[in-house]
């Protein structure tokens, strides 16, 4: 069996709290796997342990207990980061460098040089749409541009695993949409993406699987369509169903002669699931359909 | 991948280059250099003294200014390097690449040492230029004043002027100024690995600077008055490690007085400087490896 792209086993992180006796538990006994080629979303409210988990995966913070691996290599090994890229939350780069110089600097840190590095810089500036701003100092970049150059530096070493901490935080909706599209394109290229977010609609748009963290615990985890499914409710999708059939469907669907295309459980929104799991009271707008609702496919 | 010396060197040089770029964009660098240049240049106006005194004052003021400016730069510029990267989270993006923390620290230290070397070279060039100009002026004046004197007497007088101006012992004196700055930079980097603010680092280093200059005298006094038992020796060795004996790096007085600096003394000073720098860098690395970012 191939190694998962990212593996977390029994991870606990306790930050010491001087003068308080006990420390602050940021992550509790967390175990999860991110398979190669998928987009995995680590969701949770502020302070739930998302960023700490990502930092431990990248060896920036040491675990109190447990182990994390990138492509089968222990995160504590520097070499495990050779195949990984990271975009921290609200990245701040050296503002005296231009976009191109920034990529060159990070490329050299990944031991790239010469023609390979120049070519990579060109590709990435094009990918993130910053060719025209390549010679501008980062001090003059907007928030969205900084996020995009941040994404480019994370990709400089052509990583197989990309770790993104709140990749769209503080970016306007258009910029945010661009970043999501970029993530989907990277997924198509086979890059595994592990991202943290509290923007649930976005996560629903791009993630294959999600894990919901609260107070350092993993409360729910799984494929998105399974997680947002509602128990005891079923959608039935019919093709070429007549008005008569629709009226009689509750009692005679099986005998009506309509083509049975498929069925699936009715879904709630990821946002609602999230709020239920982390115990929030406020109710978001629902797109849930009543039980037994029949959709007519045109 | 990270084990290859070529790849390691590439990463290290990238960090050194970036740190140097970062530091040369700080105003403190230019203020410090301008201040040093003004001090060195102002020594020219000591012409009312005899030429021996004039050259002595010129060397004293210039070497003193170089020592002060390099020490100041070593502390102030280094103190902000780590906290700034942590605060701005640039350290995350750097260390999430296959860059060992040791390489990162060494790159930062390399950048500051390069900056100090550049500053020392610029100030030395300025100092030597001023010294040369004054020497030529005094030589001209002496030749004019002694135009009617016998040739041997004139040559002796000119030789005396030349000997008072430039002598080779200025070079080791300047080298030890750089060594002292190197030790201070390494120690500042070490302190900044556990400090939470720049201010804390600078304040600690100000104390270290003064204690470092006084500790040799205190040690002599202690050993003289209390005797040299093993306990006292151990205690003093620990103090000497925590607070580097900065007075050992002061060869300025000898150079100004024209006293020859023995090669053995210079060699010992170089080794001491390297020893302190390596120890502080290793200590900094140990602390930095345990640091939660």
Binary contact (A88, B21; C-beta < 8 A): no
Q: What are the backbone dihedrals phi and psi of residue B52, each rounded to the nearest 5 degrees, phi first?
A: -60, -45
DSSP code at position B3: T
**Which is more confident, A201 or B276?**
B276
DSSP letters spanning A81-113: GGGEEEE-SS----TTSBHHHHHHHHHHHTT--
**How close does chain B come to A211, measured CA to CA in Å?**
23
- At B31 the pLDDT is 79
Residues counted in chain A: 298
Query: pLDDT band for position B261 (50/70/90)?
Result: confident
Question: Which one, of B136, B131, B137, lies nearest residue B41 by Cα?
Answer: B131
- At A283 the pLDDT is 40
ipTM of the prediction:
0.81
DSSP letters spanning chain A: -PPPSEEEEEEEEEE--TTSSS-EEEEEEEEEEE-TT-EEEEE--TTSSHHHHHHHHTTSS--SEEEEEETTEETTSGGGGGGEEEE-SS----TTSBHHHHHHHHHHHTT--HHHHHHHHHHHHHHTT-GGGTTSBGGG--HHHHHHHHHHHHTTT--SEEEEESTTTT--HHHHHHHHHHHHHHHHTT-EEEEEES-HHHHHHH-SEEEEEETTEEEEEEEHHHHTB-TT--EEEEES--HHHHHHHHHHGGGS--EEEEEE--B--HHHHHHHHHT--------PPPTT-EEEE-
Contact A162, A194 (CB under 8 A): yes
Most confident of A277-281, B207-211, B215-219: B207-211
Read off the pLDDT of residues B224-240 as tens digits, 9 standing for 90 and up: 666 667 777 777 777 77
Read off the pLDDT of residues B13-59 as tens digits, 9 standing for 90 and up: 999 999 998 888 877 778 788 888 887 777 667 656 677 778 888 88
pTM, 2 dp = 0.82
Binary contact (A93, B99; C-beta < 8 A): no
Chain centre to alpha carbon of residue B75:
10
Which chain A residue's Cα is nearest to B90? A93
> Residue B220 above 80 pLDDT?
no
- Which one of B22, B89, B90, B97 would you mutate to disrupt binding with A, by most A Cβ within 10 Å of its Cβ? B97
Which chain B residue's Cα is nearest to A93? B90
Residue B260 half-sphere exposure toward CB, CA atoms < 13 A: 3
Q: Could you give the percent of chain B with pLDDT greater than 70?
A: 95
Tell me the average confidence (pLDDT) per consecutive run of 10 residues in chain A, 298 residues long. Answer: 88 84 88 94 92 94 94 92 91 90 95 92 93 93 90 94 90 80 91 90 88 92 81 65 68 55 58 66 39 40
Chain B residues with CB-CB distance to A110 below 8 A? 97-98
Which chain A residue's Cα is nearest to B8? A111
Read off the pLDDT of residues B175-197 as tens digits, 9 standing for 90 and up: 999 999 999 999 999 999 998 88
Chain B residues with CB-CB distance to A105 below 8 A? 14, 18
Return the axis-axis angle of helices B101-145 and B5-24, rounded to nearest 10°.
60
Return the axis-axis angle of helices B51-79 and B27-42, rounded to nearest 10°.
170
Chain B residues with CB-CB distance to A113 below 8 A? 10
């Amino acid at each position: 069996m191939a190694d998962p792209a990212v593996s977390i086993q029994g991870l606990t992180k306790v930050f010491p709290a001087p003068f308080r006796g006990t420390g602050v538990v940021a992550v509790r006994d967390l175990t999860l796997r991110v398979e190669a080629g998928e987009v995995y979303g680590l969701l949770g409210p502020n302070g739930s342990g998302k960023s700490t988990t990502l930092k431990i995966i990248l060896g920036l913070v040491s675990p109190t207990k447990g182990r994390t691996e990138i492509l089968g290599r222990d995160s504590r090994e520097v070499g495990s980061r050779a195949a990984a890229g990271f975009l921290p939350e609200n990245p701040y780069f050296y503002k005296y460098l231009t976009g191109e110089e920034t990529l060159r600097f990070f490329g050299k840190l990944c031991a790239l040089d010469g023609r390979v590095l120049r070519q990579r810089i060109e590709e990435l500036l094009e990918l993130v749409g910053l060719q025209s701003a390549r010679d501008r100092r980062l001090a003059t970049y907007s928030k969205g541009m900084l996020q995009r150059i941040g994404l480019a530096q994370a990709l400089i070493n052509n990583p197989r695993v990309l770790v993104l901490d709140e990749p769209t935080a503080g970016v306007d909706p258009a910029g945010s949409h661009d970043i999501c599209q970029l993530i989907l394109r990277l997924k198509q290229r086979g890059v595994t993406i592990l991202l943290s977010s509290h923007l649930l609609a976005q996560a629903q748009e791009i993630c294959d699987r999600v894990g919901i963290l609260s107070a350092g615990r993993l409360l729910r985890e799984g494929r998105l369509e399974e997680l947002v499914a509602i128990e005891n409710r079923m959608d039935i999708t019919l093709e070429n169903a007549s008005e008569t059939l629709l009226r009689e469907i509750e009692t005679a669907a099986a005998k009506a002669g309509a083509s049975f295309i498929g069925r699936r459980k009715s879904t709630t929104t990821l946002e609602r699931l999230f709020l239920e799991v982390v115990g929030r009271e406020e109710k978001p707008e629902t797109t849930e359909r009543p039980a037994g609702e029949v959709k007519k496919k045109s | 991948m990270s084990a290859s010396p070529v790849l390691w060197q590439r990463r290290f040089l990238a960090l050194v280059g970036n740190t140097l770029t970062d530091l040369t964009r700080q105003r403190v660098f230019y203020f410090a250099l301008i201040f040093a240049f003004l001090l060195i240049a102002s020594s020219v106006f000591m012409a009312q003294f005899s030429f021996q005194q004039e050259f002595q004052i010129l060397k004293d003021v210039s070497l003193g200014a170089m020592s002060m400016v390099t020490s100041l730069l070593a502390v102030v510029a280094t103190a902000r390097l780590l906290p700034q990267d942590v605060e701005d989270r640039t350290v995350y993006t750097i260390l999430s690449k296959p860059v060992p923390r040791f390489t990162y620290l060494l790159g930062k230290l390399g950048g500051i040492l390069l900056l100090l070397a550049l500053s020392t070279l610029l100030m030395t060039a300025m100092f030597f230029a001023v010294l040369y100009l004054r020497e030529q002026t005094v030589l001209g004046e002496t030749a004019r004043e002694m135009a009617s004197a016998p040739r041997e007497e004139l040559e002796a007088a000119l030789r005396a002027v030349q000997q008072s101006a430039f002598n080779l012992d200025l070079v080791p004196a300047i080298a030890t100024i750089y060594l002292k700055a190197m030790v201070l930079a390494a120690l500042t980097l070490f302190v900044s690995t556990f400090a939470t603010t720049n201010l804390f680092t600078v304040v600690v280093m100000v104390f270290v600077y003064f204690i470092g200059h006084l500790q040799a005298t205190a040690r002599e006094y202690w050993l003289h008055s209390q005797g040299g038992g093993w306990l006292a020796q151990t205690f003093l060795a620990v103090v000497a490690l925590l607070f580097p004996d900065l007075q050992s790096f002061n060869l300025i007085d000898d150079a100004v007085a024209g006293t020859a600096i023995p090669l053995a003394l210079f060699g010992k000073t170089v080794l001491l400087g390297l020893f302190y720098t390596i120890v502080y860098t290793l200590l900094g690395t140990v602390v930095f490896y345990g640091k939660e970012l």
